[in-house]
Amino acid sequence: MKICLISEGAYPHVTGGVSSWIQSLITEMPEHEFIVYSISAKEVKGSKPKYPIPENLVELHEIHLGDYVDQKIVSGKRYNLTDAERLAFLSLMSERQTDWDVLFQFFTSGRIDSVMNFLGSKDFFDIVSTLCEKRFVQVPFTDMFWALRSMLLPLFVCIDHKVPEADVYHSVSTGYAGVLGALAKYQYGKPLLLTEHGIYTREREEEIIKASWIKGYFKDVWIDYFYSLSYCAYGYADDVSTLFEGNRGIQLELGCPPEKTFLVPNGIDVSRFSPESRMTRPGVHIGAILRVVPIKDVKTMLQAFAIVQEKFAEAQFYLIGPLDEDEEYYEECLELVDMLGLKHVHFTGPANVQDYLSFLDILVLSSISEGQPLVILEGLAMEIPFVSTDVGACRELLEGPNDRFGKAGSIVPVMHFHLLAHEIIKLIEQPDVRETYGENGRSRVTNHYTLPMMIDAYRTYYEKGEHHGRNRISIETTV
Protein backbone atom coordinates (compact mmCIF):
# COMPACT_ATOMS: atom_id res chain seq x y z
CA MET A 1 0.00 0.00 0.00
CA LYS A 2 1.19 3.55 -0.71
CA ILE A 3 0.42 6.14 1.98
CA CYS A 4 0.88 9.89 1.45
CA LEU A 5 1.61 11.90 4.61
CA ILE A 6 0.98 15.64 4.18
CA SER A 7 2.67 17.91 6.71
CA GLU A 8 3.28 21.59 7.21
CA GLY A 9 6.69 23.00 8.12
CA ALA A 10 8.04 19.84 9.65
CA TYR A 11 9.62 16.60 8.49
CA PRO A 12 12.38 15.93 7.48
CA HIS A 13 14.22 19.26 7.91
CA VAL A 14 12.82 20.32 11.29
CA THR A 15 13.07 18.35 14.51
CA GLY A 16 10.25 18.15 17.02
CA GLY A 17 7.28 16.08 18.11
CA VAL A 18 5.44 15.99 14.78
CA SER A 19 8.58 15.11 12.84
CA SER A 20 9.46 12.33 15.29
CA TRP A 21 5.90 11.06 15.00
CA ILE A 22 6.15 10.95 11.18
CA GLN A 23 9.49 9.15 11.38
CA SER A 24 7.98 6.56 13.72
CA LEU A 25 4.98 5.93 11.47
CA ILE A 26 7.20 5.28 8.47
CA THR A 27 9.87 3.18 10.15
CA GLU A 28 7.40 1.06 12.13
CA MET A 29 5.41 0.05 9.03
CA PRO A 30 8.07 -1.32 6.65
CA GLU A 31 5.38 -3.34 4.86
CA HIS A 32 3.95 -0.10 3.38
CA GLU A 33 5.45 2.54 1.09
CA PHE A 34 5.23 6.18 2.16
CA ILE A 35 5.23 9.50 0.37
CA VAL A 36 5.86 12.67 2.38
CA TYR A 37 4.41 15.89 0.97
CA SER A 38 5.90 18.71 3.04
CA ILE A 39 4.96 22.41 3.01
CA SER A 40 7.50 24.97 4.26
CA ALA A 41 7.91 28.74 4.11
CA LYS A 42 11.12 28.68 2.11
CA GLU A 43 13.91 26.43 0.98
CA VAL A 44 17.06 26.53 3.09
CA LYS A 45 19.98 26.06 0.73
CA GLY A 46 22.23 23.21 1.79
CA SER A 47 19.80 22.03 4.46
CA LYS A 48 20.17 18.35 5.25
CA PRO A 49 17.45 16.08 6.62
CA LYS A 50 17.46 15.88 10.42
CA TYR A 51 16.29 12.26 10.28
CA PRO A 52 17.69 9.23 8.44
CA ILE A 53 15.48 8.63 5.41
CA PRO A 54 13.79 5.19 5.76
CA GLU A 55 13.96 2.78 2.82
CA ASN A 56 10.17 2.69 2.54
CA LEU A 57 9.97 6.48 2.12
CA VAL A 58 9.79 6.24 -1.66
CA GLU A 59 8.98 9.88 -2.49
CA LEU A 60 9.63 13.22 -0.81
CA HIS A 61 7.84 16.26 -2.30
CA GLU A 62 8.35 19.75 -0.91
CA ILE A 63 6.44 22.98 -1.52
CA HIS A 64 8.44 26.11 -0.68
CA LEU A 65 5.92 28.94 -0.47
CA GLY A 66 8.52 31.70 -0.58
CA ASP A 67 9.74 30.63 -4.03
CA TYR A 68 6.74 32.30 -5.67
CA VAL A 69 7.11 35.81 -4.28
CA ASP A 70 9.60 36.94 -6.95
CA GLN A 71 7.75 35.48 -9.95
CA LYS A 72 6.86 37.90 -12.73
CA ILE A 73 3.21 38.85 -13.02
CA VAL A 74 1.11 39.57 -16.08
CA SER A 75 -1.59 41.82 -14.64
CA GLY A 76 -5.11 42.48 -15.84
CA LYS A 77 -5.98 39.09 -17.34
CA ARG A 78 -9.48 37.61 -17.41
CA TYR A 79 -10.26 33.98 -16.53
CA ASN A 80 -13.98 33.93 -17.39
CA LEU A 81 -15.13 33.01 -13.89
CA THR A 82 -18.62 31.58 -13.49
CA ASP A 83 -21.01 33.02 -10.92
CA ALA A 84 -20.40 29.96 -8.72
CA GLU A 85 -16.64 30.49 -8.90
CA ARG A 86 -16.89 34.18 -8.03
CA LEU A 87 -19.13 33.32 -5.08
CA ALA A 88 -16.73 30.61 -3.89
CA PHE A 89 -13.76 32.98 -3.94
CA LEU A 90 -15.77 35.70 -2.24
CA SER A 91 -16.89 33.34 0.54
CA LEU A 92 -13.29 32.15 1.03
CA MET A 93 -12.32 35.77 1.78
CA SER A 94 -15.25 36.71 3.95
CA GLU A 95 -17.01 33.67 5.43
CA ARG A 96 -16.24 30.41 7.18
CA GLN A 97 -18.19 28.18 4.79
CA THR A 98 -16.89 27.81 1.23
CA ASP A 99 -17.80 25.62 -1.75
CA TRP A 100 -14.45 23.86 -2.00
CA ASP A 101 -15.58 21.59 -4.84
CA VAL A 102 -15.91 24.68 -7.03
CA LEU A 103 -12.47 26.00 -6.03
CA PHE A 104 -10.79 22.63 -6.53
CA GLN A 105 -12.41 22.24 -9.94
CA PHE A 106 -11.20 25.67 -10.99
CA PHE A 107 -7.58 25.06 -9.97
CA THR A 108 -7.40 21.56 -11.46
CA SER A 109 -9.10 22.49 -14.74
CA GLY A 110 -5.94 23.92 -16.32
CA ARG A 111 -7.64 27.28 -16.85
CA ILE A 112 -5.08 29.39 -15.00
CA ASP A 113 -1.54 29.82 -16.26
CA SER A 114 -0.10 31.15 -13.00
CA VAL A 115 -1.27 31.72 -9.43
CA MET A 116 0.52 35.07 -9.44
CA ASN A 117 -1.24 36.11 -12.64
CA PHE A 118 -4.60 35.17 -11.16
CA LEU A 119 -3.92 37.29 -8.07
CA GLY A 120 -3.10 40.18 -10.43
CA SER A 121 -6.11 39.59 -12.65
CA LYS A 122 -9.16 41.75 -13.23
CA ASP A 123 -11.26 38.90 -11.80
CA PHE A 124 -9.46 39.04 -8.46
CA PHE A 125 -9.66 42.85 -8.50
CA ASP A 126 -13.43 42.65 -9.02
CA ILE A 127 -13.89 40.11 -6.20
CA VAL A 128 -11.98 42.32 -3.74
CA SER A 129 -14.02 45.33 -4.90
CA THR A 130 -17.25 43.46 -4.20
CA LEU A 131 -16.01 42.46 -0.74
CA CYS A 132 -15.09 46.04 0.12
CA GLU A 133 -18.49 47.33 -1.03
CA LYS A 134 -20.39 44.73 1.01
CA ARG A 135 -18.34 44.47 4.19
CA PHE A 136 -15.41 46.87 4.40
CA VAL A 137 -16.64 50.23 3.14
CA GLN A 138 -14.37 52.12 5.56
CA VAL A 139 -11.21 50.14 4.70
CA PRO A 140 -8.87 51.55 2.05
CA PHE A 141 -9.16 49.38 -1.06
CA THR A 142 -5.39 49.09 -1.57
CA ASP A 143 -4.94 47.86 2.02
CA MET A 144 -7.61 45.21 1.52
CA PHE A 145 -6.28 44.14 -1.89
CA TRP A 146 -2.72 43.53 -0.72
CA ALA A 147 -3.79 41.97 2.56
CA LEU A 148 -6.02 39.43 0.79
CA ARG A 149 -3.39 38.76 -1.84
CA SER A 150 -0.76 37.91 0.81
CA MET A 151 -3.31 35.84 2.75
CA LEU A 152 -4.40 33.72 -0.21
CA LEU A 153 -1.07 33.28 -1.99
CA PRO A 154 0.21 30.35 0.16
CA LEU A 155 -3.09 28.50 -0.18
CA PHE A 156 -3.31 28.96 -3.95
CA VAL A 157 0.32 27.90 -4.37
CA CYS A 158 -0.42 24.69 -2.48
CA ILE A 159 -3.59 23.92 -4.44
CA ASP A 160 -1.83 24.65 -7.73
CA HIS A 161 0.63 21.77 -7.13
CA LYS A 162 -0.23 18.28 -8.31
CA VAL A 163 -0.75 15.99 -5.34
CA PRO A 164 1.04 12.63 -5.82
CA GLU A 165 -1.20 9.59 -6.21
CA ALA A 166 -1.48 7.19 -3.29
CA ASP A 167 -3.82 4.59 -1.82
CA VAL A 168 -4.47 6.51 1.41
CA TYR A 169 -3.88 10.16 2.32
CA HIS A 170 -3.02 11.30 5.82
CA SER A 171 -2.89 15.04 6.63
CA VAL A 172 -1.03 15.88 9.81
CA SER A 173 -2.97 19.08 10.53
CA THR A 174 -5.75 21.21 9.13
CA GLY A 175 -4.59 24.46 7.48
CA TYR A 176 -2.73 24.06 4.18
CA ALA A 177 -1.94 20.39 4.82
CA GLY A 178 -5.61 19.70 5.50
CA VAL A 179 -6.70 21.45 2.30
CA LEU A 180 -4.15 19.46 0.25
CA GLY A 181 -5.55 16.27 1.75
CA ALA A 182 -9.04 17.43 0.77
CA LEU A 183 -7.80 18.18 -2.74
CA ALA A 184 -6.38 14.65 -3.00
CA LYS A 185 -9.71 13.25 -1.84
CA TYR A 186 -11.49 15.38 -4.46
CA GLN A 187 -9.15 14.34 -7.28
CA TYR A 188 -8.58 10.67 -6.59
CA GLY A 189 -11.47 9.58 -4.36
CA LYS A 190 -9.08 7.81 -1.99
CA PRO A 191 -9.53 7.70 1.80
CA LEU A 192 -8.37 10.72 3.80
CA LEU A 193 -7.37 10.61 7.46
CA LEU A 194 -6.80 13.87 9.30
CA THR A 195 -4.71 13.92 12.50
CA GLU A 196 -4.44 16.97 14.72
CA HIS A 197 -1.70 17.06 17.35
CA GLY A 198 -2.52 20.61 18.37
CA ILE A 199 -5.66 22.36 17.17
CA TYR A 200 -4.31 24.33 14.22
CA THR A 201 -7.22 26.78 14.00
CA ARG A 202 -6.99 27.81 17.64
CA GLU A 203 -3.21 28.16 17.43
CA ARG A 204 -3.48 30.44 14.40
CA GLU A 205 -6.27 32.43 16.07
CA GLU A 206 -4.07 33.08 19.11
CA GLU A 207 -1.19 34.17 16.87
CA ILE A 208 -3.41 36.51 14.85
CA ILE A 209 -4.89 38.17 17.94
CA LYS A 210 -1.39 38.87 19.27
CA ALA A 211 0.14 39.82 15.90
CA SER A 212 1.19 43.45 15.56
CA TRP A 213 1.62 43.25 11.77
CA ILE A 214 -2.09 42.54 11.15
CA LYS A 215 -4.26 45.64 11.47
CA GLY A 216 -7.25 45.33 13.73
CA TYR A 217 -9.92 45.26 11.01
CA PHE A 218 -8.07 42.44 9.19
CA LYS A 219 -7.82 40.12 12.20
CA ASP A 220 -11.39 38.84 11.77
CA VAL A 221 -10.73 38.18 8.07
CA TRP A 222 -7.65 36.11 8.86
CA ILE A 223 -9.40 34.19 11.65
CA ASP A 224 -12.42 33.39 9.46
CA TYR A 225 -10.03 32.28 6.73
CA PHE A 226 -8.30 29.70 8.94
CA TYR A 227 -11.67 28.47 10.20
CA SER A 228 -12.65 27.98 6.56
CA LEU A 229 -9.53 25.88 5.96
CA SER A 230 -10.43 23.69 8.94
CA TYR A 231 -14.01 23.22 7.77
CA CYS A 232 -12.60 22.10 4.43
CA ALA A 233 -10.38 19.45 6.03
CA TYR A 234 -13.10 18.24 8.42
CA GLY A 235 -15.62 18.04 5.61
CA TYR A 236 -13.52 15.97 3.20
CA ALA A 237 -11.83 13.69 5.77
CA ASP A 238 -13.25 10.22 6.22
CA ASP A 239 -11.90 10.07 9.79
CA VAL A 240 -10.35 12.61 12.14
CA SER A 241 -7.99 11.54 14.91
CA THR A 242 -6.45 13.51 17.72
CA LEU A 243 -4.38 12.74 20.78
CA PHE A 244 -6.67 13.29 23.76
CA GLU A 245 -10.26 14.02 24.72
CA GLY A 246 -9.71 17.75 25.29
CA ASN A 247 -8.64 18.19 21.67
CA ARG A 248 -11.57 16.13 20.45
CA GLY A 249 -13.94 18.44 22.32
CA ILE A 250 -12.46 21.46 20.53
CA GLN A 251 -12.78 19.71 17.17
CA LEU A 252 -16.49 19.19 17.85
CA GLU A 253 -16.86 22.87 18.83
CA LEU A 254 -15.22 23.82 15.53
CA GLY A 255 -17.77 21.83 13.57
CA CYS A 256 -16.13 18.45 12.99
CA PRO A 257 -18.83 15.74 12.73
CA PRO A 258 -18.59 13.63 15.92
CA GLU A 259 -18.95 10.33 14.06
CA LYS A 260 -15.64 11.01 12.29
CA THR A 261 -13.57 11.57 15.43
CA PHE A 262 -11.46 9.08 17.37
CA LEU A 263 -8.46 9.15 19.71
CA VAL A 264 -4.97 7.79 19.07
CA PRO A 265 -2.55 8.88 21.82
CA ASN A 266 1.11 9.35 21.03
CA GLY A 267 3.35 6.45 21.90
CA ILE A 268 7.04 5.84 22.50
CA ASP A 269 9.28 2.80 22.41
CA VAL A 270 9.49 2.25 26.16
CA SER A 271 12.24 -0.35 25.72
CA ARG A 272 14.64 2.46 24.73
CA PHE A 273 14.35 4.02 28.19
CA SER A 274 15.97 2.30 31.17
CA PRO A 275 15.59 4.08 34.52
CA GLU A 276 18.10 1.62 35.96
CA SER A 277 20.79 3.25 33.83
CA ARG A 278 20.32 6.66 35.45
CA MET A 279 23.44 7.95 37.20
CA THR A 280 22.71 10.53 39.87
CA ARG A 281 25.09 13.51 39.84
CA PRO A 282 25.88 15.73 42.81
CA GLY A 283 23.74 18.87 43.02
CA VAL A 284 20.47 19.74 41.28
CA HIS A 285 20.03 19.28 37.53
CA ILE A 286 16.94 20.68 35.84
CA GLY A 287 16.27 20.28 32.12
CA ALA A 288 13.93 21.19 29.29
CA ILE A 289 13.80 19.42 25.94
CA LEU A 290 12.59 21.95 23.39
CA ARG A 291 13.10 24.07 20.33
CA VAL A 292 14.07 27.61 21.31
CA VAL A 293 11.04 29.30 19.73
CA PRO A 294 8.37 31.63 21.17
CA ILE A 295 5.62 28.99 21.46
CA LYS A 296 7.82 27.15 24.00
CA ASP A 297 7.92 30.34 26.11
CA VAL A 298 11.55 29.92 27.10
CA LYS A 299 11.53 33.38 28.70
CA THR A 300 9.00 32.30 31.33
CA MET A 301 11.18 29.27 32.06
CA LEU A 302 14.27 31.45 32.49
CA GLN A 303 12.41 33.75 34.87
CA ALA A 304 11.40 30.71 36.91
CA PHE A 305 15.02 29.50 36.92
CA ALA A 306 16.08 32.86 38.33
CA ILE A 307 13.82 32.32 41.36
CA VAL A 308 15.07 28.76 41.78
CA GLN A 309 18.66 30.01 41.65
CA GLU A 310 18.01 32.40 44.55
CA LYS A 311 17.43 29.38 46.78
CA PHE A 312 19.70 26.84 45.10
CA ALA A 313 22.64 28.86 43.82
CA GLU A 314 24.46 25.89 42.28
CA ALA A 315 21.45 24.43 40.44
CA GLN A 316 22.24 23.57 36.82
CA PHE A 317 19.78 24.35 34.01
CA TYR A 318 19.91 22.59 30.64
CA LEU A 319 17.90 23.72 27.59
CA ILE A 320 18.28 20.82 25.20
CA GLY A 321 17.42 21.27 21.54
CA PRO A 322 17.99 23.31 18.37
CA LEU A 323 18.71 27.03 18.60
CA ASP A 324 18.49 28.09 14.95
CA GLU A 325 14.76 28.00 14.18
CA ASP A 326 14.25 31.56 15.47
CA GLU A 327 17.67 33.11 15.92
CA GLU A 328 16.24 36.48 16.99
CA TYR A 329 14.27 34.84 19.81
CA TYR A 330 17.35 32.87 20.87
CA GLU A 331 19.33 36.11 21.13
CA GLU A 332 16.55 37.62 23.22
CA CYS A 333 16.75 34.61 25.56
CA LEU A 334 20.51 35.08 25.94
CA GLU A 335 19.95 38.76 26.76
CA LEU A 336 17.39 37.75 29.40
CA VAL A 337 19.89 35.32 30.95
CA ASP A 338 22.34 38.21 31.33
CA MET A 339 19.71 40.61 32.62
CA LEU A 340 18.54 38.12 35.27
CA GLY A 341 22.10 37.34 36.30
CA LEU A 342 21.50 33.65 35.70
CA LYS A 343 24.37 31.25 36.12
CA HIS A 344 24.76 27.60 35.11
CA VAL A 345 22.38 27.88 32.13
CA HIS A 346 23.41 25.55 29.31
CA PHE A 347 21.88 25.95 25.82
CA THR A 348 23.04 22.65 24.35
CA GLY A 349 21.88 22.95 20.75
CA PRO A 350 21.04 19.66 18.99
CA ALA A 351 22.03 16.85 21.32
CA ASN A 352 21.46 13.21 22.18
CA VAL A 353 18.56 13.60 24.60
CA GLN A 354 19.27 10.21 26.19
CA ASP A 355 22.59 11.55 27.49
CA TYR A 356 20.72 14.15 29.55
CA LEU A 357 17.84 11.92 30.62
CA SER A 358 20.47 9.75 32.29
CA PHE A 359 21.13 12.30 35.07
CA LEU A 360 18.46 15.04 35.12
CA ASP A 361 16.45 15.31 38.36
CA ILE A 362 13.49 17.36 37.08
CA LEU A 363 12.15 18.24 33.63
CA VAL A 364 10.25 21.43 32.81
CA LEU A 365 7.83 22.40 30.03
CA SER A 366 6.63 26.02 29.83
CA SER A 367 4.88 26.05 26.43
CA ILE A 368 1.87 28.22 25.69
CA SER A 369 0.51 25.57 23.31
CA GLU A 370 1.08 21.82 22.94
CA GLY A 371 -0.62 18.67 21.78
CA GLN A 372 0.58 15.59 23.63
CA PRO A 373 4.31 16.17 24.05
CA LEU A 374 6.59 13.26 23.32
CA VAL A 375 9.19 14.85 25.59
CA ILE A 376 6.91 14.28 28.58
CA LEU A 377 6.39 10.64 27.64
CA GLU A 378 10.16 10.15 27.23
CA GLY A 379 10.96 11.86 30.51
CA LEU A 380 8.37 9.84 32.41
CA ALA A 381 9.68 6.63 30.81
CA MET A 382 13.00 7.46 32.51
CA GLU A 383 11.14 8.09 35.80
CA ILE A 384 11.88 11.84 35.78
CA PRO A 385 9.06 14.00 37.20
CA PHE A 386 7.80 17.04 35.27
CA VAL A 387 6.64 20.53 36.04
CA SER A 388 4.50 21.68 33.11
CA THR A 389 2.15 24.42 32.03
CA ASP A 390 -1.50 23.44 31.67
CA VAL A 391 -1.60 23.04 27.90
CA GLY A 392 -2.72 20.26 25.60
CA ALA A 393 -2.64 16.82 27.19
CA CYS A 394 -0.01 17.72 29.79
CA ARG A 395 -2.40 17.56 32.75
CA GLU A 396 -3.71 14.21 31.52
CA LEU A 397 -0.18 12.82 31.21
CA LEU A 398 0.92 14.01 34.64
CA GLU A 399 -2.27 13.48 36.62
CA GLY A 400 -3.84 10.64 34.68
CA PRO A 401 -6.92 10.11 32.49
CA ASN A 402 -8.87 8.66 35.44
CA ASP A 403 -6.42 5.76 35.72
CA ARG A 404 -5.12 3.96 38.78
CA PHE A 405 -1.69 5.59 38.66
CA GLY A 406 -0.87 8.60 40.80
CA LYS A 407 0.60 11.97 39.95
CA ALA A 408 3.76 12.14 37.87
CA GLY A 409 4.40 15.86 38.17
CA SER A 410 2.90 19.29 38.74
CA ILE A 411 0.76 21.54 36.54
CA VAL A 412 0.84 25.36 36.58
CA PRO A 413 -0.94 28.05 34.52
CA VAL A 414 0.64 29.37 31.35
CA MET A 415 3.18 32.23 31.80
CA HIS A 416 3.12 32.11 35.64
CA PHE A 417 6.85 31.89 36.19
CA HIS A 418 6.61 32.30 39.97
CA LEU A 419 4.28 29.26 40.24
CA LEU A 420 6.55 27.32 37.88
CA ALA A 421 9.48 28.12 40.14
CA HIS A 422 7.49 27.24 43.27
CA GLU A 423 6.72 23.73 41.98
CA ILE A 424 10.31 23.16 40.87
CA ILE A 425 11.55 24.14 44.34
CA LYS A 426 9.04 21.81 46.00
CA LEU A 427 10.37 18.88 43.96
CA ILE A 428 13.98 19.79 44.70
CA GLU A 429 13.19 19.78 48.42
CA GLN A 430 11.29 16.47 48.30
CA PRO A 431 13.41 13.72 46.68
CA ASP A 432 10.96 11.05 47.91
CA VAL A 433 8.13 12.79 46.01
CA ARG A 434 10.33 12.98 42.90
CA GLU A 435 10.91 9.24 43.11
CA THR A 436 7.20 8.46 43.54
CA TYR A 437 6.21 10.76 40.69
CA GLY A 438 8.82 9.13 38.45
CA GLU A 439 7.58 5.62 39.18
CA ASN A 440 3.96 6.66 38.60
CA GLY A 441 4.91 8.27 35.30
CA ARG A 442 6.67 5.22 33.92
CA SER A 443 3.73 3.00 34.89
CA ARG A 444 1.32 5.33 33.09
CA VAL A 445 3.43 5.45 29.91
CA THR A 446 3.94 1.67 29.89
CA ASN A 447 0.21 1.03 30.16
CA HIS A 448 -1.25 3.78 27.93
CA TYR A 449 1.33 5.40 25.66
CA THR A 450 3.49 2.83 23.91
CA LEU A 451 4.62 2.97 20.30
CA PRO A 452 3.10 -0.43 19.37
CA MET A 453 -0.31 0.80 20.57
CA MET A 454 -0.08 3.90 18.39
CA ILE A 455 1.23 2.07 15.32
CA ASP A 456 -1.41 -0.65 15.57
CA ALA A 457 -4.16 1.98 15.63
CA TYR A 458 -2.91 3.68 12.45
CA ARG A 459 -2.13 0.40 10.72
CA THR A 460 -5.72 -0.67 11.34
CA TYR A 461 -6.97 2.61 9.87
CA TYR A 462 -4.79 2.39 6.78
CA GLU A 463 -5.91 -1.15 6.08
CA LYS A 464 -9.56 -0.21 6.61
CA GLY A 465 -9.14 2.80 4.34
CA GLU A 466 -7.53 0.71 1.65
CA HIS A 467 -10.50 -1.61 1.48
CA HIS A 468 -12.85 1.35 1.04
CA GLY A 469 -10.74 3.12 -1.59
CA ARG A 470 -10.73 2.72 -5.35
CA ASN A 471 -8.23 0.56 -7.21
CA ARG A 472 -4.80 0.64 -5.65
CA ILE A 473 -1.91 2.27 -7.46
CA SER A 474 0.85 0.72 -5.37
CA ILE A 475 3.71 -1.18 -6.96
CA GLU A 476 2.37 -4.38 -5.43
CA THR A 477 -0.40 -4.49 -8.03
CA THR A 478 2.14 -5.00 -10.80
CA VAL A 479 4.08 -7.81 -9.14
Say whether both 329 and 445 belong to one domain. Answer: yes
Q: Which of 114-128, 185-199, 376-390, 461-475 has the lowest mean pLDDT?
A: 461-475
End-of-domain residue from the set 151, 171, 192:
151
- The rounded distance, in Å, linking the Cα atoms of 241 and 221 is 28
pLDDT in tens, 82-109: 999 999 999 999 888 899 999 999 999 9
Say whether both 321 and 251 belong to one domain. Answer: no
Sheet holding 285-289, edge to edge: 345-349, 316-320, 285-289, 362-365, 386-389, 409-412
Residue 78 falls inside a structural domain: no
Residue 213 falls inside a structural domain: yes
Say whether both 210 and 178 belong to one domain. Answer: yes
Residue 76 falls inside a structural domain: no
Full domain range(s) for residue 182: 2-70+162-267+453-478
Q: What pLDDT does 32 receive?
A: 97
Say whether both 281 and 423 belong to one domain. Answer: yes
Residue 296 falls inside a structural domain: yes
Say whether both 190 and 122 belong to one domain. Answer: no
Domains identified in the chain, total number: 3
Residue 309 falls inside a structural domain: yes
Nearest CA among 298, 302, 277, 292 for reference residue 351: 292
Q: What pLDDT does 48 receive?
A: 83
Angstrom distances, CA of residue 155 to CA of 81, 116, 219, 234, 271: 19, 12, 18, 17, 42
Confidence band for 471, pLDDT divided at 50, 70 and 90: very low
Say whether both 131 and 177 belong to one domain. Answer: no
Say whether both 398 and 324 belong to one domain. Answer: yes
Residue 75 falls inside a structural domain: no
pLDDT in tens, 6-35: 999 778 888 777 898 999 999 999 999 999
- The rounded distance, in Å, linking the Cα atoms of 361 and 287 is 8
**What's the mean pLDDT in 360-380?**
94
Say whether both 131 and 94 belong to one domain. Answer: yes
**What's the mean pLDDT in 267-281?**
93
Say whether both 180 and 199 belong to one domain. Answer: yes
Say whether both 276 and 250 belong to one domain. Answer: no
Tell me, what CATH number does 383's domain have? Answer: 3.40.50.2000
Residue 156 falls inside a structural domain: no
Residue 77 falls inside a structural domain: no
Angstrom distances, CA of residue 67 to CA of 12, 41, 44, 45: 19, 9, 11, 12
pLDDT in tens, 290-341: 999 999 999 999 999 999 999 999 999 999 999 998 999 999 999 999 999 9
Say whether both 219 and 244 belong to one domain. Answer: yes
